[in-house]
């Protein structure tokens, strides 16, 4: 835990008591603050109490002495309208901040603490974990967290030489002023979270806050494979405010890192040299992961990691759960858990990696559903639809992809496995890449992916029992 001493002896409101909120309340209390913690959800409050966080109903308490409101990233700050807690804080002049701001207050007190921040619409978690893995294998003192894994304030306290590798969502970036990233990685942008930010422009502006406190001694690593981030790169390179490094999985670029033909090239000094063989990085399939690898390589090189150690770390990366995770095999049929693909753009990354796909999709569809995935339909042998918006997706697939209305994930997995076995294909893949949010049938995308893994484990057990017989 990182004790937060910046508010010692003062009252601080903490609203939103999931993983981040509980860690925040404990860190503030450890630093001597008077913590006033609350959540609108009774079950969440009960969980917080079991975790040792005392509760105070912020709806009923006078706010006159509150020094700050620490807001859960998931609570609306601006759009569609500020949450009532935000309005209460603003009424008394209390700043509205997030846990990343508290972390920055403490990290900035310690010399030679470095921070790597990673943002973008897709690939943040993989790139964050990959950077952390490379730095660990290179023998450095590294802590990984933020929007992935542990909440930032649950990590070990800062000390000289420590490197924090932090996944940063647009919601978290909206709540920071002091966070300083020695290396800031901006991977890509596709329309997402527009309901929260109000417009694509506001969403991009929130993401760009990752660069706000950088100086000419710092590094911005920017993907240049989509039009929006390409523009961001051009504007930032022209400004000269920091060292700007482009990365690409599509084309040769100068003074950056790029991937072509399965080889990662290091052109950071202007002369391209092979840096890593991505065919050996089995946990990083597809072009999207090539960009993730290029960004991670560029980031760790700017932190002083050698090309050899960077390449070795990429090639030995074990991957992340729920992100094109290989969870089992029955005969020739491979089962891939890509439950983290909660929108069509994320699902496209997986659909582009395999042929002969038996695709499990559905849930709560994002705007546009799966229309944008049409270029991949020829790879799909059959789609098995689940969840709230199965009918919508079926209409979008009509006449283009054979569809089974499976209803639930267990049924879909069993039917897809049966069809894949009977297909006669040499390399059939049962792919859970839903292109939809999970909250209609599951607590989270992790719950959905875990349920898929259990269903696959059951199928494997039955197959082995049949073989034994």
Question: pLDDT tens digits, residue range 295-316?
Answer: 999 999 999 999 999 999 999 9
Query: Which of these three, 316, 347, 372, is where a domain ends?
Result: 316
* Helix/strand/coil for 99: helix
Residue 189 lies in a domain: yes
The answer to whether residues 234 and 359 belong to one domain is no
pLDDT at position 192: 64
pLDDT tens-digit map of 48-74: 999 999 999 999 999 999 999 999 988
The answer to whether residues 405 and 454 belong to one domain is yes
Parallel, antiparallel, or unpaired: how do β-strands 273-277 and 325-330 relate?
Answer: unpaired
Residue 4 lies in a domain: no
The answer to whether residues 91 and 116 belong to one domain is no
- For the chain, list residues with pLDDT below 70: 191-196, 466-469
- Kindly report the CATH number assigned to the domain that includes residue 85: 3.40.50.720
- Give the whole-angstrom CA distance, residue 46 versus residue 23: 15
Residue 5 lies in a domain: no
Which pair of structure tokens corresponds to residue 149?
């894994």
The answer to whether residues 66 and 141 belong to one domain is no
Q: Is 188 annotated as a binding residue?
A: no
Q: Is 120 annotated as a binding residue?
A: yes
- Give the whole-angstrom CA distance, residue 116 versus residue 131: 9
pTM of the shown model: 0.85
- Give the whole-angstrom CA distance, residue 464 versus residue 469: 9
Nearest CA-CA partner of 80 in 162, 195, 1: 195
Which pair of structure tokens corresponds to residue 450?
């875990």
Nearest CA-CA partner of 177 in 260, 101, 229: 101
Residue 6 lies in a domain: no
* Helix/strand/coil for 462: helix
**27 C-beta neighbours (distance < 10 Å), count:** 27
Q: Is 122 annotated as a binding residue?
A: yes
Strand partners, 244: 220
Tell whether omega for the bond before 80 is within 30 degrees of 0, i.e. cis: yes
Query: Which of these three, 70, 97, 124, is where a domain ends?
Result: 97
Q: Is 271 annotated as a binding residue?
A: no
pLDDT at position 469: 32
Q: Is 124 annotated as a binding residue?
A: yes
- Give the whole-angstrom CA distance, residue 190 versus residue 188: 7
| Distance from the first to the final alpha carbon of the chain | 53
Contacts of 439 (CB under 8 A, 6+ apart): 363, 364
DSSP letter assigned to residue 198: S
pLDDT at position 195: 67
The answer to whether residues 159 and 122 belong to one domain is yes
The answer to whether residues 116 and 83 belong to one domain is no
pLDDT tens-digit map of 227-286: 999 999 999 999 998 999 999 999 999 999 999 999 999 999 989 999 999 999 988 988
The answer to whether residues 389 and 329 belong to one domain is yes
Asked if residue 409 lies in contact with residue 386, where contact means CB atoms within 8 angstroms, the answer is yes
The answer to whether residues 359 and 452 belong to one domain is yes
The answer to whether residues 47 and 74 belong to one domain is yes
* Domain membership of residue 372 as a residue range: 325-467
Residue 369 lies in a domain: yes
* Domain count across the chain: 3
Within a 13 Å sphere around the CA of 109, how many CA atoms are in the beta-carbon half? 11
The answer to whether residues 166 and 260 belong to one domain is yes
Task: Write down how long the chain is.
Answer: 469
The answer to whether residues 149 and 289 belong to one domain is yes
- Give the whole-angstrom CA distance, residue 265 versus residue 374: 31
Q: Is 126 annotated as a binding residue?
A: yes
Which pair of structure tokens corresponds to residue 318?
């074990």
Max Cα distance, the chain (Å)? 73
Q: Is 121 annotated as a binding residue?
A: yes
- Give the whole-angstrom CA distance, residue 123 versus residue 291: 9
Q: Where are the beta strands (DSSP E) in 181-238?
A: 183-186, 219-223
- Give the whole-angstrom CA distance, residue 247 versus residue 244: 10
Nearest CA-CA partner of 378 in 406, 405, 397: 397
């Amino acid at each position: 835990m990182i004790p937060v001493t910046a508010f010692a002896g003062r009252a601080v409101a903490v609203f939103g008591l999931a993983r981040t909120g509980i860690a925040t309340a404990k860190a503030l209390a450890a630093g001597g603050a008077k913590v006033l913690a609350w959540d609108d959800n009774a079950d969440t409050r009960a969980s917080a109490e079991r975790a040792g966080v005392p509760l105070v109903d912020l709806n009923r308490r006078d706010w006159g002495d509150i020094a700050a409101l620490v807001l859960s990233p998931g609570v609306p700050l601006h759009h569609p309208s500020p949450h009532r807690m935000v309005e209460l804080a603003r009424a008394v002049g209390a700043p509205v901040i997030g846990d990343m701001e508290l972390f920055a207050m403490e990290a900035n007190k310690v010399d030679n603490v470095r921070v790597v921040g990673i943002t973008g619409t897709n690939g943040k978690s993989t790139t964050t974990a990959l950077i952390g893995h490379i730095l660990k294998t290179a023998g450095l003192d590294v802590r990984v967290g933020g929007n992935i894994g542990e909440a930032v304030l649950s990590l070990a306290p800062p000390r000289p030489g420590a490197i924090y590798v932090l996944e940063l969502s647009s919601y978290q970036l909206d709540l920071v002023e002091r966070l300083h990233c020695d290396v800031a990685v901006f991977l890509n942008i596709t329309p997402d979270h527009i309901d929260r930010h109000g417009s694509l422009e506001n969403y991009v502006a929130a993401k760009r806050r990752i660069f706000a406190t950088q100086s000419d001694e710092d590094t911005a690593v920017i993907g240049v494979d989509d039009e929006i981030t390409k523009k961001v790169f051009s504007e930032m390179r022209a400004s000269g405010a920091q060292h700007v490094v482009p990365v690409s999985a599509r084309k040769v670029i100068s003074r950056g890192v790029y991937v072509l033909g399965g080889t990662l090239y290091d052109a950071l000094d202007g002369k391209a040299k092979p840096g890593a063989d991505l065919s050996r990085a089995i946990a990083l399939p597809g072009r999207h992961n090539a960009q993730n690898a290029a960004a991670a390589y560029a980031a760790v090189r700017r932190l002083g990691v050698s090309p050899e150690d960077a390449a070795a770390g990429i090639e030995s990366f074990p991957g992340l759960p729920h992100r094109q995770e290989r969870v089992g095999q029955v005969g020739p049929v491979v089962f891939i858990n890509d439950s983290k693909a909660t929108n069509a753009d994320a699902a496209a990354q997986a659909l582009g990696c395999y042929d002969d796909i038996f695709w499990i999709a559905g849930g709560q569809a994002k705007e546009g559903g799966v229309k944008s995935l049409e270029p991949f339909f020829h790879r799909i042998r059959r789609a098995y639809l689940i969840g709230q918006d199965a009918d919508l997706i079926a209409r979008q697939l009509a006449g283009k992809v054979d569809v089974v209305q499976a209803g639930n994930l267990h049924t879909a997995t069993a039917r897809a496995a049966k069809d894949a076995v009977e297909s006669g294909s040499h390399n059939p893949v049962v792919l859970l890449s839903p292109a939809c949010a999970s909250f209609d049938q599951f607590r989270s995308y992790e719950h959905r992916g875990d349920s898929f893994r259990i269903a696959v484990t059951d199928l494997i057990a039955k197959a082995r029992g049949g073989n034994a017989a």
